[in-house]
């Protein structure tokens, strides 16, 4: 369906549900994967967002590692319930019908504000709002968690910690990946599953990027499709997942504050006491969840589900999580050791035959100088992703063999293959408080991340914590 045809269909739909208010203008696709779509437009003077699943499409949400997304009808119902409960959710205007010919979905008021974390943190006009985000997030979460379970759509089901962990491990095993830090995390999580006396409604994707912020603070809580019933600590810790700190690694709460301040604010807003052990369990779980999600997204390129370059890059972000997990193990006093000696080798040679890293460097320069300046919109985004991919390939060409040899030597000293080490850490015959194991895991994380994402804020923290300068 071309944009002109879509505009006409949306305009007819708006007249049917909202009355004659004018023409549909400024149609813009905001987001969406292979199936789900979000469109922004103006109808008369009303700014609207249409969230829809086109006719004949099936949701790409929900698989072995993720609770199934609730339907769009259930999302609309839940958003209306949340609004009545005082949550800053966008007001639903109308639900699509078969007569509209637009598929499944609903229209809602388009909230005003910014969702991109780096723009929020970098905008001086939003500085006052950012300074109060802990209190505001705590109030929003407390309001969500206070909604009565008997009021919820029937689709919203209870999923406990053990079930979620089992989903993650099944997905991880299906991918046939061998990452020792992940295997130890599965073991620790399994041995420390928390009990919850009173499950609550969870948003389950409450993070920067899904919070719209204006000068007054949070103007809308978006993206409710993963809502389920469970431990409220899942929501609170999710906001503190390292991947959702957007460059501000030491500000655990979403990149804007400390976890301690967020927890204290939540205790005030909810009138409850936070069990820090439960919070720490969910922080570990959410960190590992993102790692498995990255692996799955990388696999979606391989199996053709979403065959785009960006998915390969996201697949390599699993090494970010490797480092995040080790830093959490250390913070929880599960492991610790002497400083490592680590430094990245020279990237480009000074003498001899042209190396593969130099050819890739020439491609990076060509893309930066010839393609990026001439690109805009999605083409510009793709050109930037391409440069990121070339950078990974360049660093691997320069350092990959050396790092692989160093890893093999460390494993030889342990008397284990990488697969055997994973099995030993998962099964309990090895633990990360073994000095040689801990040193190997830290070296491996630094090597992999220095190739995959040297700009990741967690790498700098790991270098400060683990190496001698």
Whether the CB-CB separation of 168 and 65 falls below 8 Å is answered with yes
List of residues 6+ apart from 1 with CB closer than 8 A? 9, 54
Domain ranges of the chain: 1-110, 318-466
Which CATH number is associated with domain 1-110? 3.30.200.20
pLDDT of residue 34: 46
Low-confidence ranges of the chain (pLDDT < 70): 1-2, 31-35, 55-68, 469
Distance CA 7, CA 411 (A): 60
Distance CA 42, CA 20 (A): 13
pLDDT of residue 468: 79
Instruction: Provide the H-helix boundaries in 192-347.
Output: 232-238, 259-270, 276-302, 309-316, 318-331
pLDDT of residue 275: 95
Smallest CA-to-CA distance from 437 within 457, 452, 415 is with 415
Burial class (CB in 10 A: 0-12, 13-18, 19+), 458: buried
CA atoms within 13 A on the CB side of 340: 22
Structure tokens at 174: 């299906």
List of residues 6+ apart from 15 with CB closer than 8 A? 21
pTM: 0.93
Backbone phi, psi, residue 348, to 5°: -120, 140
pLDDT of residue 90: 95
């Amino acid at each position: 369906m071309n944009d002109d045809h879509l505009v006409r269909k949306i305009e007819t739909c708006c007249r049917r549900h909202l009355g004659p208010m004018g023409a549909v203008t400024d149609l813009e696709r905001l987001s969406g994967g292979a199936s789900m779509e979000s469109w922004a437009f103006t109808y008369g003077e009303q700014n609207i967002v249409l969230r829809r699943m086109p006719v004949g499409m099936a949701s790409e949400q929900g698989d072995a590692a993720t609770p199934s997304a609730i339907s769009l009808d259930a999302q609309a119902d839940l958003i209306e319930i949340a609004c009545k409960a005082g949550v800053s959710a966008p007001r639903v205007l109308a639900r699509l019908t078969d007569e509209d010919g637009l598929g499944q979905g609903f229209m809602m008021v388009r909230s005003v504000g910014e969702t991109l974390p780096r723009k929020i943190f970098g905008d001086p006009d939003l500085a006052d709002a950012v300074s109060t985000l802990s209190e505001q997030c705590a109030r929003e979460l407390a309001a969500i968690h206070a909604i009565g379970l008997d009021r919820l759509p029937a689709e919203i089901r209870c999923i406990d910690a053990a079930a979620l962990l089992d989903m993650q491990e099944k997905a991880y095993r299906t991918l046939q990946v061998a990452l020792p830090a992940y295997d130890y995390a599965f073991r620790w999580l399994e041995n420390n599953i928390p009990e919850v006396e009173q499950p609550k409604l969870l948003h389950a994707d409450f993070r920067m990027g899904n919070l719209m912020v204006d000068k007054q603070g949070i103007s809308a809580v978006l993206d409710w499709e993963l809502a389920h019933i469970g431990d409220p600590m899942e929501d609170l810790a999710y906001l503190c997942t390292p991947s959702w700190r957007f460059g501000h690694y030491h500000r655990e709460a979403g990149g804007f504050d400390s976890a301690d301040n967020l927890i204290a604010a939540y205790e005030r807003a909810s009138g409850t006491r936070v069990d820090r052990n439960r919070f720490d369990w969910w922080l570990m779980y959410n960190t590992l969840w993102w790692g498995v999600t990255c692996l799955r997204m990388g696999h979606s390129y391989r199996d053709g589900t979403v065959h785009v370059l960006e998915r390969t890059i996201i697949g390599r972000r699993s090494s970010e999580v490797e480092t995040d997990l080790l830093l959490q193990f250390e913070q929880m006093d599960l492991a610790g050791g002497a400083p490592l000696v680590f430094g990245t080798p020279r990237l480009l040679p000074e003498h001899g035959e042209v190396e593969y890293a130099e050819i890739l460097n020439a491609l990076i320069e060509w893309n930066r100088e010839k393609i990026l300046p001439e690109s805009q919109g999605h083409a510009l985004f793709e050109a930037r992703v391409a440069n990121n991919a070339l950078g990974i390939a360049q660093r691997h060409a320069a350092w990959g063999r050396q790092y692989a040899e160093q890893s093999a030597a460390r494993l030889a000293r342990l008397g284990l293959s990488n697969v055997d080490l994973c099995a030993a850490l998962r099964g309990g015959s090895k633990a990360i408080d073994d000095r040689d194991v801990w040193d190997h895991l830290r070296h491996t994380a630094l090597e992999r991340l220095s190739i995959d994402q040297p700009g990741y804020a967690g790498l700098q923290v790991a270098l400060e914590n683990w190496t001698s300068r």
